Amino acid sequence: MHLQQRFNVRCHGAGDTTLVLAHGYGCDQTMWRLLAPQLSPRYRVITYDLAGCGAATAAYDQQRHASLHGHAEDALEIISQFASGAVVFVGHSVAAMIGMLATIAQPQHFAGQIMIGPSPCFINDGDYVGGYNREDIDGLLQFMLDDYQKWSDTLGGIIMGTPERPELAQELSTRFRANDMAIARHFGRVTFLSDHRADVPKSTVPALILQCSDDLIAPREVGQWLHQHLPNSRIKVVDNQGHCPHFSAPAASFDIIDGYLSKVLKL
C-alpha cells in the first residue's frame, strides 16, 4: 500500500516551512481540525494517522511498533516523502515523544519541535514525578482489558477535562471506541510503559513545551522536568483544564505556537 494511503497522509496550505502534526494515543488526525486551518495560510501542514489509529489500522505491526521508535521511523518516512523546506514536528502527548525520537535519529531534517502535553515517562520514580505509580498504570491497562468500551468513556472524560463541554469528551471517547481493541491494548502498553527520559538530552533540535495549567495526564512537574533536561527548550502554559489544548483551547494554543514559530524560530 502506498505510504499516503497507509497513514492517511493529508497535505494542506503552502509555505516555505512544513508543519507535521501528529495526534496522541487512540485519536486520529481530526483532532487537529480546529488548529490546522489557522496554520495552513502561512505554512505547509501535513497531518496523518499514527499506525493503528484512525484510517491507519493496517499500518500497525506489533514488532515494528513494540516501541515508539517504530512510530518515529514512520514519521521520518512521511517527512522524507511529503515535507519540503524547514520542518517542525508538532506532536501531542505520546506523539511528542515520537517526534523527539525522530529529531534524535535525523536532526538535520528539523528546524524545531513543538510538544503538546508531552511526557517521557508516566510513572513516578524517585524524585521524578510522572503523575502515576506503577500500580496506577497496571490498573489502567487492566481496566482496558476488562472493559474497553467503559475504559474509552472514562478516559475520554479524564483526558479532555472539559466537564462544561461534555461533547468534547464524547467525541474523544468515540475515537477510542473506533479503534481495533487488540491494537489499542498493545499500543496502550507501549504508550504508558515507555520511559524515554534517557533520550531527552540527546535531542538538540529547538523545542517548545506547551502544557495545560491543569492536566491529569501530564502534570506541570513533567513539563518542568523536560524543560530542565531538554537542550534548547522553552515552556509555555495554556490556562486550560485537560490534556488537549489544541482541541479545547485552539485559539490560545495557536497564539503560542505561531508566536514561537515566527518570533523564536523566525520561520
Q: What single-letter amino acid sits at 262?
A: S
Choosing from 28, 49, 74, 215, which is the catalytic residue? 215
Q: Is the dihedral of CA 103, 21, 118, 25 positive or negative?
A: negative
Choosing from 93, 194, 248, 253, which is the catalytic residue? 93
Q: Which of 32, 3, 41, 161 is nearest to 91 (CA)?
A: 32
67 flagged as catalytic: no
Buried b (16+ CB within 10 A) or exposed e, 190-214: bbbebebbebbeebebbbbbbbbee
215 flagged as catalytic: yes
Q: Which of 118, 93, 117, 82 is nearest to 197 (CA)?
A: 118
Residues 6 or more apart whose CB falls under 8 angstroms from that of 130 comprise 119, 121, 122, 123, 124, 222
Nearest 5°: CA angle at 210, between 208 and 211?
150
Written as nine digits, the cell of 7 is 497513514
- Cα torsion 19, 24, 27, 33 to 10°: value is -30
C-beta separation of 116 from 90 below 8 A:
yes
Choosing from 69, 196, 243, 246, which is the catalytic residue? 243
40 flagged as catalytic: no
Would you please indicate which residues are annotated as catalytic (active-site) residues? 93, 215, 243
